[in-house]
Every structure is written in structure tokens, then in C-alpha cells.
Amino acid sequence: MTKQKKYLTKKNPLVKSKINHVSSHLRSRATKALACHAAKGDFVLQECSECQYISYPPRDRCPKCWGVLTWKHQKRHATLLAETTIHSTTDLYFREHVPWRIGTILLDVGPTAFAHLHSNVQVGDKLKIHVMLDRSGNPALFAMPRKVTVNMEEDYQYSQFTASPKGKRILISDGRTEIGQKLTYELIKAGAEIVYLGNADSNLRFKGQDSISKHKNVKIIPLNLLSTKSVKKCSQQYGGKVDILINTASYVRSGSIAFSGKITEMQNAIDLNVNGLTRLAKAFCPAMSARSGDEERPAIAFLDILSIFSLTSHPDYASLAASSAARLSIINSLRSEMSLSGLKVFSTLIGPIEDEWHQDIPPPKVTAEQIAKSVITSLKNGQELTLVGNVAKDIFEKWSANPLLTMRETIK
Amino acid sequence: MTSKENILISLAEKISNEDIRIIDLTNTLSSEFPVIVLPPEFGQCDHFSMETISKYDDNGPAWYWNKISMNEHTGTHFDAPAHWVTGKDLPNNSVDSIPLKNFMAPAVVIDISKECAKNSDFLITKKFLIGWEEQYGQIPKNHWIALRTDWHKFVGSPKYLNMQNDGAHSPGPDKSAVEYLVHEKNCIGLAVETVGTDAGQAFDFDPPLPAHSILHGNGKYGLQCLRNLDKLPTFGSIIVANPLKIENGSGSPLRVFALVDGQNDEL
């Protein structure tokens, strides 16, 4: 039986919120490499290219033969050999979370390792192992039962590694778009308590406004990412209530650098995609960080949806690509900054969308529904980096193998 | 010459004594103030935006100042002839070259607020203007023509732009009215409370956007997004409208005000 989290509608306002602590940032380069794979939800371990020995934890050389280690996808299966429950510790992070169960697992592919345990697993059980990122972005093994059970993702220890929308108060920066609205409905389906939906211009109505504004779990609020005053005002009103913030705003116009593109369009793209994201982070992240350790209603995540062309550039969508590259850079800086407070920072990289601004790009294109579902999955799984659509997946795979070549490939 | 005989000193004294009152016709520049919306494939008008550089803080301990940005046609603004293609080849067609004397001119206020309350698409025509003259008197030459619609009362609500699926719906003049005002009254320009001198549906008129097309093609000006026209008398006020001296500027946000005789019975 999964020990479930309690979802409170209100917390006692006289109780001091707990300060969030995160685990140590001191990790080897090899461990940080594992974190990169964990961010995508991959289960990889190091394998020796000389003796094929599979090892854990991450190292610089093979512990058997000093051979070169390479990251390879592995079977996630393991058995729980032993377990213990920690009741007392000097570690500031775990002190807030004891009792905490950990155990020794024997991976089917060879190594034994320490893992955090789901409340449904017992010694001798067959396990499914995930590499998860903790609140400070460090990778750790988490042992789940092999059999899927109801509410298993609500396990208290597991939830420390994820950002499930269930019971959460969520702000979506741009509710005027189809993506913002589909995402709202998916979040409510996933159990979100309320979605605050940003409306940048109350002078102009938007498609879908009538139906979404009537939803009892949705509150449409003024929020214009082009205005520092508007973003500040919004954070002053809602910053103390937002548990998850999702930035859906994006300015997309086709145009090249020298010929068809306009300086004003580049400025517009930079102002919304780059400065808008910065305004949002600057206004909300301090307030959210202050609540990231709260026991009852913690702020847990900041998620940005951006174009895959952030990695490669795009000659016909130069302003989108340039501003998305800056956006990705901002998110990486923010992730590092937030790792000190425990607020998880997610990026959802999307391929061209099926909308009016991508008419001259041939399929496959991604739909608002695909994006919405991927965002929910990434939050539920604590997956910091998600790729939506075949174009995004293909570009990312090529870019991972050879970034410069992938940039060249976008040249006509 | 004594100060009492000097007309300017006399004016200053009357302003100081409030025998002549100054009415602010300007809306406050803020990021919320609506701007004209064009079909999305065209470049758009930017809202006003402001970033604080310092406010007695680490970036400037004893001083407060902001960085601002906007379109030339954001907020209460002035349209120069160069704004429209019909005025592109005229002399002195940009804000930096307009003769200064044109920045200060008398105004006649035509009140169509009742008609607009009943019909958002109310169009002022030459026939209407002639009928108006029969009732109120001749429209003088070399005046700003100020259309009082009370539209400024909608600022802050969607009703101001009144954008529907078939475009915006707001009042304005038709071709016959603009031609009458320009060619027979030699107006300085058209001063309105709406977001543009043209009616919301004027893109579909013949010619499209007749106010912009005819006014600017004949070297006349536009003033948009005004307020407080309901505080001006029908005749006898002076509008002061000085656009910023922007090199080759097509227009400019500005502080517009009117001088009004404080004793005027109509107020």
C-alpha cells in the first residue's frame, strides 16, 4: 500500500514554513554525466569497453581493469537484498524527511548499489530501478516495485524526486494559446487544484476564452510578460500561491537574418522569449524558492517550453532560434541557481507546432495536445529535459552526437 | 510696453488665475494602455514599456530613472503626414519638420457621443456635418476638428478597441466628411478619442482608411487616444500638441492639452 501524500487546501498561516535544504553539490564529473542522462529519464550505467564490466557508482576508469568506461542503456531490473530505515542524521536535507528507507539492490546486470526505496518494496522483491534527480540535481537510484499499482507515484519518498501536478496550484504564463489551454485541461485532469491562466491583453478576447473561463479550477489573471510591472504585480498577488510555474509564452515569426527577417521581429522575439522568461523568473522564483521546503504546500517546479531550434539555429526562423538559444541558456543558469533552493527547473523542447506560424514547415509537426501530455509526464517523472515530437527527438539525438554537424545540417 | 499691454503676459496671468484653464487631453502612458491591432501578418504597434534603471538602490543610490520604449503611435499620439503613403512625398511631412505654428491651433468640438452610444460603427458624413453647422454654426477654417465620442470612457475595457471576429468597431468619418473638412474647411487635422482617426471598419471603405489617406495626403495631422474632449466648448478652445522632435518621425506620443476660457458658459 503506497503511503500517500496528504493534499491540504489550506495551511496554518501561523506555522513558520520550513527552510528548504538540499543535498550536497559535491559530485564528480562522471556523476554529473549520469545526471544528464537521468534528466532525460534514461537508465544508463557505465560499461568497460575492455572487459565489459558494468559498474556503479560513476567512475573515471574501470575498477577492474582501468579500461575506458562508456555510458550504455541497461536493463532496469534488480532485486532488493537488504533495507534499513534512517531515523536520525546530521544531514540537513534528510533531517527534514526521516524516517527514510534505503536499501542495497543487486542489479540484474551485475553491480550492487544503494537505492532509495518506494514504500511498496520489501527485501527479496523484484524491482524496477530509475535514475532520478534529487532537489539539487544530483542523480540517485530509486527502487520501484515492478508491478504498477494505483497511486504508486504518490509515494512520499518518490515524490521528493518528482513534481506531480496533483493537488498543486499552477500558473501558466500564456493562456491565450492553444498550448496554454490544452495544458490547463491536462493539468486539471492530472489533479491540479487550480490553474492560474495568464492573459496578456484583457482588451482583446481570445479563442477558447468563454469555455475555459467558466471552469471551476481555472482563474484567468492579467499577466503580460512584456511588462515588468505586470509580471511583478502578478507575482505580488500569486507568487505565494504558485507551486508550479509553466512558461508557455512564445513569439514565433518566420524570417531570415539578412533578407526576409526584420529587426523589429528579432526585438519582439527577444523581448517575449528572453526578457519575458527573465521577468517571470525574477519575479516568481525568489518567492517560490522561499517555499520550496514547505512541508504542506511546497513550491516545486519551474518549467519552460521552448523550441528545439535553440540547439541548432534555423535559417528561416532565425529570430525564434536565436531567442530560443538564449532562453535555453537562461534556463540552464536558473537551474543552477535554483538547485541551491531545491526548486526543480524543467525544459520541454518542442519541434515545429501545428499552428498558423509554422505553415511553411512540412510535417511532422507537434500538436498542443502532445505538448500538454509530455509536460504532465515530465513533471510526474521528475524528468528535467523532455523532447516533444519526432523533429525534436531527431535533432536532439544528432546534436548529442555531433553539435557542429547538426548546426551545419540546418543550412540549406 | 507694460505687462498689461503684452498679450503673452496677459495670457500667462489668466492661466495663473485660472481665467483660462488648461484641460489635459492626454491618457497616461502605461503598458496596459491599448494600441491599434493590425492583422497578425503585419508588424504590430508596441505597447508602452518601462524598465527601472535605478530607484535609489544599488544601481543608482540617489536617483530614479527608467528606460522606456514604445511605438511612435502608442498612447495619446500625433500622426504626421509621412505616416501614410499618400503623404510620403509632401514637404515638412515628419514630426521634426512640421512648422511649429501648427502645434497650437483652435479647435471645434463636434459632439457625436449620443450617436456613438447607440451605434459603435457610427460614421460622420458630409451631410451630417452640414446639418451640424445649421444647428451650431459654421465650422471655422484652420481648426482642429475634435470628434467627441466619449470613447475614452472605455479605456481599460475590451469595448475600447471593440475587436470582433470581423475587425474593430468604433466610430469615425467617411470619405465625404474628411474631404469636406480638408478641402472646404482647411482643417489642421482630426482629433479623436479612439485608437485611430479612422473608424474601426474603415479598412473596408472606399478608399480604405479615408481619414488617414485623405488627411495625410493633404498635409493634415491626426491626434488619437485623447480624453476629456467632453470638457471642451464647441468653439473657442486652443489645442496645444507638440510631438517629440524625432528625426523623420511618422508621429509621436505627446502631452496634449487645451486652453479653455474659464468663464465659458458651456463648461
CATH number of the domain to which A357 belongs: 3.40.50.720
The pLDDT, as a whole number, for residue A93 is: 84
Asked if the Cβ–Cβ distance from B158 to A264 is below 8 Å, we say no
H/E/C letters for each residue in chain A? CCCECCCCCCCCCCCCCCCCCCCCCCCCHHHHHHHHHHHCCCCEEEEECCCCCEECCCCCCCCCCCCCEEEEECCCEEEEEEEEEECCCCCHHHHCCCCEEEEEEEECCCCEEEEEECCCCCCCCEEEEEEEECCCCCEEEEEEECCCCCCHHHEHHHHCCCCCCCCCEEEECCCCCHHHHHHHHHHHHCCCCEEEEEECCCCCCCCCHHHHHCCCCEEEEECCCCCHHHHHHHHHHHCCCCCEEEECCCCCCCECCCCCCCHHHHHHHHHHHHHHHHHHHHHHHHHHHHCCCCCCCCCCEEEEEEEHHHCCCCCCEHHHHHHHHHHHHHHHHHHHHHCCCCCEEEEEEECCECCHHHCCCCCCCECHHHHHHHHHHHHHHCCCEEEECHHHHHHHHHHHHCHHHHHHHCCC
Last residue of a domain, one of A103, A129, A159: A159
Q: B70 is in which domain, residue-wise?
A: 22-261
pLDDT at position A412 is 64
Where does a domain end: A159, A188, A215?
A159
Q: How many domains does chain A have?
A: 2
- CA distances (Å), A244 to each of A249, A324, B141, B172, in order? 15, 21, 63, 47
Give me the pLDDT at residue A8, please: 57
In-domain check, residue B112: yes
Express as a percent the part of chain A with pLDDT over 70.
97
My answer on whether A394 and A286 are in the same domain is: yes
A250 and A361 both lie in a single domain? yes
Residue A359 forms contact with B (CB below 8 Å): no
Question: Which H/E stretch holds residue B158?
Answer: none
In this predicted structure, what is the pLDDT of residue A61? 96
Q: State whether A59 and A196 are in the same domain.
A: no
| Per-residue pLDDT tens digits for B196-207 | 999 999 999 999
Q: Which of B125, B94, B92 is nearest to B110 (CA)?
A: B125
What would the pLDDT profile of A108-137 be if each residue is shown by its tens digit?
999 999 999 999 999 999 999 999 999 889
Mean pLDDT of chain B: 95
Domain assignment of residue A23, yes or no = no
| Same domain membership, residue A316 and residue A224 | yes
pLDDT above 90 for A379: yes
> What is the spatial distance between Cα A159 and Cα B80, in angstroms, rounded to a whole number?
62
Kindly state the cell numbers that stand for A161: 524526486
Instruction: List C-alpha distances in Å: A42 to A126, A132, A351, A373, A382.
Output: 20, 9, 20, 19, 12
pLDDT > 70? residue B263: no
Residues in A closer than 8 angstroms to B44, CB to CB, are: 268
- Whether residue A3 lies inside any domain: the answer is no
Averaged pLDDT, B9-26: 95
Assess whether B216 carries a catalytic annotation: no
Residues A132 and A177 in one domain: no
More confident residue, A1 or A162: A162
Measured distance CA(A7)–CA(A168) in Å, rounded: 8
pLDDT of residue B5: 78
Q: What is the mean pLDDT of residues A328-352?
A: 95
Chain A residue numbers with beta carbons less than 8 Å from the beta carbon of B37 are: 204
CA A110 vs CA A19, A52, A54: distances in Å: 39, 11, 6
Same structural domain for residues A305 and A400?
A: yes
Cβ within 8 Å, pair B31-A202 = no
Kindly name the residue from B83, B143, B212, B216 that is annotated as catalytic: B83
A263: nearest CA partner in chain B: B43
| A229 with B163: Cβ contact below 8 A | no
Is the per-residue pLDDT at A1 higher than 60?
Answer: no
pLDDT top residue among B1 and B44: B44
How much is the average pLDDT of B233-244?
Answer: 97
For chain A, positions 109-128, list CB contacts with chain B under 8 A: none
Q: Write down the pLDDT at residue A294.
A: 85
* pLDDT score of A158 more than 70: yes
Q: Compute the nearest-CA separation of B267 from chain A (Å).
A: 32
For chain A, what percent of residues have pLDDT higher than 90?
84
Contact A227 B49 (CB under 8 A): yes
pLDDT for A27 equals: 82
Tell me, yes or no, whether B86 lies in a domain: yes
Of B43, B51, B160, the CB nearest to A264: B43
Tens digit of each residue's pLDDT (9 = 90 or more) over B91-136: 999 999 999 999 999 999 999 999 999 999 999 999 999 999 999 9
- In A, minimum Cα distance to B41 occurs at A253
The DSSP secondary-structure symbol of B117 reads H
Is residue B267 domain-resident? Answer: no
Query: Is B200 inside any structural domain?
Result: yes
Contact A124, A79 (CB under 8 A): yes
A204–B37 CB contact, under 8 Å: yes
Confidence of residue B237 (pLDDT cuts 50, 70, 90): very high
* Cross-chain residue pair A228–B52, CB shorter than 8 Å: yes
pLDDT of B34 strictly over 60: yes
- In A, minimum Cα distance to B159 occurs at A203
Res A3: pLDDT: 54
Mutation choice for A interface testing from B30, B41, B46, B49 by most A CBs within 10 A: B49
User: Which residues contact residue A329 at a Cβ distance below 8 angstroms, ignoring those fewer than 6 apart?
Assistant: none
pLDDT of residue B1: 55
Q: A155 falls in which pLDDT band (50, 70, 90)?
A: very high
Residues A155 and A175 placed together within one structural domain of the fold: no
pLDDT tens per residue, range A79-101 = 999 999 999 998 888 888 889 99
Minimum Cα–Cα distance from B71: chain A residue: A264
Within a domain: B193: yes
> Least CB-CB distance to B34: which of A203, A230, A268?
A203
ipTM: 0.89
Instruction: Give residue A79's domain range.
Output: 29-159
pLDDT band at A21 (very low <50, low <70, confident <90, very high): confident
pLDDT interval class at B209 (50, 70, 90)? very high
Sort B112 into a burial class: Cβ within 10 Å, 0-12 / 13-18 / 19+.
buried
**A263/B contact by beta carbon, under 8 A:** no
Are residue A72 and residue A116 in the same domain, yes or no?
yes
Q: Across the interface, do A227 and B160 touch by the CB < 8 Å criterion?
A: no
* Count of structural domains, chain B: 1
Looking at residues A275-292, what average pLDDT do you find?
96
Interface A:B, Cβ pairs < 8 A = 38
| pLDDT tens for each residue of B36-61 | 999 988 999 999 999 999 999 999 99
- Return the residue of A nearest to B163 by Cα: A204
Of the residues A124, A139, A159, the one at which a domain ends: A159
Single-letter amino acid code for the residue at A274 = V
Tell if the CB–CB gap between A229 and B160 is shorter than 8 Å.
no
Q: What is the pTM of this model?
A: 0.93
Average pLDDT over residues A341-360: 94
Structural domain includes residue B10:
no
Say yes or no: A340 and A316 in one domain.
yes
Answer whether B34 touches A (CB < 8 Å): yes
Nearest to A338 by CA among A302, A305, A376: A302
- Residue A73 CB neighbours (<10 A): 11
Q: Give the C-alpha separation, A189 to A377, whole Å.
A: 12
| Residue of A176, A177, A203, A359 to mutate when probing chain B, most B C-beta within 10 A | A203
Q: What is the mean pLDDT of chain A?
A: 93
Any domain includes A54: yes
Mark which residues 38-97 of B lie under 8 Å from A by CB.
40, 43-44, 47, 49-52
Tell me what pLDDT residue A11 has: 73
Over residues A186-199, the mean pLDDT reads 97
The shortest C-alpha distance from B205 to chain A (Å) reads 23
CATH number of residue B54's parent domain:
3.50.30.50
pLDDT top residue among A270 and A16: A270
Same domain, A101 and A182: no
B157 touches chain A (CB under 8 A): yes
Residue A19 has pLDDT above 80, yes or no: no
Determine phi and psi for A280, rounding to 5 degrees.
-60, -50
Provide the pLDDT confidence category of residue A26 given band limits of 50, 70 and 90.
confident
Q: Is residue B253 part of a domain?
A: yes
pLDDT of residue A42: 95
The confidence band for A20, taking pLDDT boundaries of 50, 70 and 90, is: confident
